[in-house]
Copies of this chain bind each other. A is one copy, B any other.
Amino acid sequence: MERSDSRLSMGWKPNPSLDLPLYRQIEAYIRQKITTGEWSAGYRLPSQRLWAKSMGVNRSTLVTALDNLAAAGLLEGRHGGGTYISGSGWHGMAHEAMPNWNEAIEEGWYYPNLPEIQQINQAEFRPGIIRLGTGELSPELMPQDAFNDILYSLSHRSRTLNYLEPQGSLELREALSVHLQTTGIQASPDSILIVSGSLQALHLISVGLLPRGSAVLLEKPSYLYSIHAFQSAGLKMSGIPMDNEGVHIARLEDAAQHVKDQDHISLLYTIPSFHNPTGSVMGDHRREELMTTARTLGISILEDAAYSDLWLDKPPPSSLKARDQEGRVLHMGTLSKAVSPGLRLGWLVGPEPVIRRLADIKMQTDYGTSSLAQEAAALWFAEGHHAGHMERLRPELRKRRDFMLDLLRQYFHDIAEWEIPAGGFYIWLQFTVSPLSIRQLFHTCLEQDILIHPGYLYDRLDASHIRLSYAYASPDEMERGLQCLAEAVHRLMDSGS
């Protein structure tokens, strides 16, 4: 099966109304890519079939263009297949003097995203795609009007366009300190770091607080398995199974003993409220137990509260940070889930020395979060938009959740099982039929412009789940998408794969 090529998703097309023949236009386009160096030596061209299709030309037209360029020495075939930008022939240079970026790309040590994540990141912007697993609000659920109000207010005040303090704008940290108090968390502005989304907080923690080779404890499955923030920093991950009440305490104790190293701090990453990807909520009793256990074991906790505002039936138990009286818990919050992912605005609460250390590293990576985003966020809280938005959002999100659950009962009752989430975005759908290749299901769906999030992104060994989200797709898309998905499952079952 030929995979789709993400490079073609928004590609250039020749213009049939021009005088120049299509193959000449294609030639000129490729020549320009070469002379600007955008396609440098060793660059592999997209597959002829898919490329011709994406340009809306016959394959023979493309082949004519490529043949001409090959005859001019600009392209070369390689055994093993594929057409590449030639390393020799251009400027008559020796091969070794050409910049070989393809090698460079392989040599940088940062892990690339998992292939599926790369495909998801690209496919999300494909027109017509139905996004069944996307972890963000649908554009029509976003507070567009409130943001226009905020921008209007901002256009009438003066501001600093200069760099801000390392920990972020004091105005915003003060607004957050007040906001956090409403959730039971006492945090002075000095104990708050503004970050460009919680992913950045994870990255800062991974390089700033944990020595290479140390192990991080986390729920299994977990969002954290789907990103490389911690592995790229040389950390190991030790997954703890969950039950209905949250992370399994006895198994946590086993794992903590196992990874315990007297020299190092041990950290547990947890999403206690509306967990990603399972949607589950850690119960009140389990939270108390966890705090006690953490104290006994001497481990610290990184609490990801990304979804805690997004309760649909009733508020979750109070956060771990609200129960913390000794600076054991680092607490991450964000505007990405309930308000606007594009704003890139999050915060980390913790002991002052930790916050200062991470602020110093943040200054070294991006010199602070955009002042415009911080200003908008400060007004978001200070002008009282947040509470009103949440009140409007909840019934809408509840409707979508209930609609998706209806569809699941209709199309999936005989092939899958699920729990009803009390908040957040996600339904952790477990297929009860086997064998079923989730990987194949992902690719089959993608070819039909349906995007799902395979469960193995959140637990490498998982072979039966996908993460659904009722937050993004419209009701109509949900219906078409889930129907297609069910059909794809049945087809794969029939084909025995």
User: Could you tell me if B354 and A367 are in contact, using CB atoms closer than 8 angstroms?
Assistant: no
Q: Name the interface size band of chain A.
A: 35 or more
Q: In the complex, what residues of B have CB within 8 A of residue A296's CB?
A: 97
**Binary contact readout A287-326 vs B (1 if CB under 8 angstroms, 0 otherwise):** 0000000011110100000000000000000000000111
Q: Say yes or no for A55: interface residue by CB 8 A criterion.
A: no
Q: Are B342 and A197 in contact (CB under 8 A)?
A: no
B363 and A121 form a contact (CB under 8 A):
yes
Q: When the two chains form their complex, are residues B191 and A351 in contact, meaning their CB atoms are under 8 A apart?
A: no
Chain A 195-225 near chain B by CB (<8 Å), digits 1 or 0: 0110110010001111110100000000000
Segment with Cβ contacts to B, from A160-168, A244-252, A449-457, A460-468: A160-168
| Residues of B with C-beta under 8 A to A54 | none
Query: Is the beta-carbon distance between A38 and B187 smaller than 8 angstroms?
Result: yes
CB pair A300 B343 closer than 8 Å: no
> A342-B160, A365-B365 are known contacts. Are A37 and B351 too (CB-CB below 8 A)?
yes
| Complex CA–CA separation, A144 to B160 (angstroms) | 8
Chain B residues within 8 Å of A233, by CB: 109
CB distance from A386 to the nearest CB of B (A): 14
> Quick one: copies of this chain in the complex?
2
Closest to A152 in B: B155
Q: Is the CB of B364 within 8 A of A228?
A: yes
For residue A370, which residues in chain B have a CB less than 8 angstroms away from its CB?
196, 342-345, 369-370, 372-373
Contact in complex: A210, B352 (CB < 8 Å): no
Q: How far is the CA of A297 from the CA of B93 in the complex (A)?
A: 12
A182 contacts partner chain B, Cβ-Cβ < 8 Å: no
Return the CB mask of A228-241 against B: 1 if under 8 Å, else 0.
Answer: 11001110000000
A432 close to chain B: CB less than 8 A: no
Whether A191 and B38, one on each chain, are in contact in the complex, defined by CB atoms closer than 8 angstroms, is yes
CA distance A343 to B197 in the complex (A): 16
* CB-nearest residue of chain B to A143: B161
A72 at the interface (CB under 8 A from B): no
Decide if A357 touches B161 in the complex (CB within 8 Å).
no
A327 within 8 A of B: yes
Specify which of B36, B37, B96, B232 is in contact with A364 (CB 8 Å cutoff).
B232
A366 touches B191 (CB 8 A): no
Contact A110 B340 (CB under 8 A): no
Can you list 24 A-B contacts (CB < 8 A)? A37-B328, A38-B187, A38-B351, A39-B351, A91-B326, A93-B295, A99-B328, A101-B265, A104-B264, A104-B265, A107-B209, A107-B264, A108-B208, A112-B357, A113-B363, A137-B162, A148-B154, A196-B196, A196-B370, A229-B364, A232-B364, A336-B367, A344-B366, A372-B376
Interface residues of A (CB under 8 A from B): 7, 10, 32-33, 35-41, 43, 90-91, 93, 96-105, 107-113, 118, 121-122, 124-125, 136-137, 139, 142-144, 147-152, 154-156, 158-166, 170, 186-188, 190-191, 196-197, 199-200, 203, 207-212, 214, 227-229, 232-234, 263-265, 295-298, 300, 324-329, 336, 339-345, 350-354, 356-357, 360-361, 363-373, 376
The 3 closest A-B pairs by CB, nearest first: A37-B327, A342-B371, A40-B327
